[in-house]
Structure 1
């Protein structure tokens, strides 16, 4: 069985009663259609989603196992780097580009181990014969990379902010390359299981690889800002009258969100020193306003950020934007939602909104591990 339409929207996260999570590949509609005859392949009909479609399928060739491997590799590439290998608003032009250009190497967007970089280059090769022969082969290769790479540096994830389970358990930090590879192993483990199960082969090895890693990315410091963000947050006060601290964030391009942002409760600068002594509560100043960053508000903002992360990873970008915006209104000094908002706007090609969100993130977390990469993105937008 060839799925023909592997993409983020068809991957669902299942949380089991014992606490571990697994990924399920859904929507076998195109795979089922292919069993009713050869008309669509005989006519050269192109079926699938252009961004995740293999070059040979875009050319009109019959989809084979290599096409699904290309789709899985594209999904993993996007989860690790935050961008697609090929992206264009015009589907025909996008597919034509795939036919004449190799996919950009993963290392052009994010720092990864050479083994991971080379493996993705093979999995996204234009020639299907150069790709791994099965999902199991790709899974085994990624598992070997993970096992061979020691964890020494901080984790780099697409979206900041720990899940509720991560907040309860402090896990050792992994290197950037390991975190990236682990995310792929978790994702492709499902592809390998589905593939081998349908072929009638032994899936035990594929199932064993991803399941010890229920949470592919450990939290970054930027998810819960330390006193550094509070020190930078004073900058807007110097540029504006005392009643408002964040004038640069208030204008938005989307008319539906603008009135809500302007309704934010103003903060005074006199309480800034207090925030440095109370980082766990994220309460920068002892304000009487009901929307101050007290415990319930902060937890609600974190929950909204987690929900937005999940929506973004499933490709539901407009819905993710709404959740991120709501989180920034409830806890405007929590850095993680601003970063997620910037990345999501960037993927939607909403450059002005992405720039504002990234600038706010850097004000709150100027020394975050990914701060330099965000600054590079900002420079590219100018």
Structure 2
């Protein structure tokens, strides 16, 4: 990496406006954000493309599909992590929180067995300098699983863990208030027979009654003691939002109703929704559309969830929809807002003194084309 880099003839997306100008990087940090073109011969001409902060992804399950690319196929973990990382950085994501699920709701699933393998593979690749994006860990705690607390305590001390979310996917509440939707989703996803589904539903309800509340309290208390950011999941009512705020949570992941999102936002939680929800025009599980929350002004963060390339596309679409999100505010949902919610104050904006995590993109027929990506001034794509 040169000591100084100059990027000019770019449309710079700052926190509050878009500038036709020049950005200077010195020693991996942003040194200047200026209007106008540089006449220096060493300046890199970006040909009028957008130059944005590198994207920050707080919740992605993308690694799982590379660990198990087909049912019954276990892929070598080191290769899976590098393939995942390549997809992440090609989507313009320079900081990613890989979501690792503690407690598998799939009766035939292998998440619990894969968990330590995935964690070690991510940590080893990052330590060896093989990853191009910066990888952090997001522990997703399925509260109604009997073993979630013991496994959480085994993993929470890992230095890459910086975000924890708590969730209860049992039927009859939150994401699956309608039990019919629960049956439709899990029978379709896991190919369960009617009898298997009946037994699974009964077991999940019983586990929720026995474990969910006490596990939520215990996980949150341990996160607070360690200064870790905590997210709620699938809050459906203002009472759920009040509970999450009372626990000191900073993020409300995927609220299922406008009322829950409004209450969360008012209580200071950053409302996170799926970027695929924006791109597809609605929720795949029948809950509130992210665009509807944007129309109410209570959409704070977008997450690619299961499709990394959706992140920038969704932000650009958000800026074109009927709401109060201009391009800088829309880009903040995938950069500054997630950085702030996760306690990362050194990145997420084009601002002097912050890390030069950068993304060059051109938009062709409403489709973003990512041309270059830099992490701390080093080109990684």
Q: TM-score range by the shorter chain?
A: under 0.3
TM-score (norm 1): 0.27
Richer in strand (by share): 2
Richer in helix (by share): 1
TM-score (norm 2): 0.27
Larger Cα-atom Rg: 1
